[in-house]
């Protein structure tokens, strides 16, 4: 069964480059990003994991932990890190899960169309995870799901942008418009009356009866 936004993220135990962990315990009281890549020692994945390593500080600023996963064994992850450093100049310091039995990949629906009920009935391509992204909140609920094909590398700045929106809108009764960036105007939700909007935000612009914009609230 597919996972959905606002569903509790499935918990699991896993072997990682940082040792064994229990996923919910590892998340703790903060936010987390779980992202999969198809296979170690491949070109697009190398650029992706290096890019994430370079942005890890930005995720930490937002209280977000990062963890990667593929069906490669943990020892394979450790060997690959040097290639990532050569290609991107960044050290991968966040944990990488080794999911060689496909348990977590199946739990999080990270595999392409299934060619069998077990690894024995699947081709090598079927066994590789697609490029999935799950953003999980402190309540352990899924806030964002993104899935990219194997040939398309992700824009991790977009994932940061989405997290900024999710964290902002979780705190204030606002939404963010298309192409929103930090500091841009936000949309006042329909749950807030005009009178309440003035009390909360001071002023706003009515573009349409159902579209009211105001300055981004302070964090």
Task: Tell me which residues are annotated as active site.
Answer: 45
Q: How far apart are CA 46 and CA 84, in angstroms?
A: 5
Distances from the Cα of 105 to the Cαs of 27, 72, 97, in angstroms? 18, 11, 10
Q: How far apart are CA 143 and CA 136, in angstroms?
A: 6
Distances from the Cα of 196 to the Cαs of 63, 129, 186, 211, in angstroms? 30, 47, 16, 15
168 with 182: CB under 8 angstroms? no
Return the bridge partners of 67, or none.
Answer: 34
């Amino acid at each position: 069964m597919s996972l959905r936004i606002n569903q509790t993220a499935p918990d699991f135990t896993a072997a990682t480059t940082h040792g064994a962990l229990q996923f919910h315990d590892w998340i703790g009281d903060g936010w987390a990003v779980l992202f999969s890549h198809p296979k170690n020692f491949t070109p697009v994945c190398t650029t992706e994991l290096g890019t994430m390593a370079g942005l890890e500080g930005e995720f930490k600023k937002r209280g977000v932990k990062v963890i990667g996963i593929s069906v490669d064994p943990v020892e394979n992850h450790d060997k690959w890190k040097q290639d990532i450093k050569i290609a991107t100049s960044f050290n991968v310091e966040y944990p990488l899960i080794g999911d060689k039995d496909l348990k977590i990949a199946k739990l999080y629906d990270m595999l392409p169309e299934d060619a069998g009920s077990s690894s024995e009935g699947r081709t090598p391509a079927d066994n590789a995870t697609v490029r999935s992204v799950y953003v999980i909140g402190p309540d352990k609920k899924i806030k964002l799901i993104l899935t990219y094909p194997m040939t398309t590398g992700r824009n991790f700045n977009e994932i940061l942008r989405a997290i900024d929106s999710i964290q902002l809108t979780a705190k204030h009764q606002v939404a963010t418009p298309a192409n929103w960036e930090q500091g841009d105007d936000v949309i006042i939700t329909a749950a807030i009356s005009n009178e309440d909007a003035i009390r909360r935000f001071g002023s706003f612009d009515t573009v349409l009866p159902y579209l009211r914009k105001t300055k981004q609230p302070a964090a």
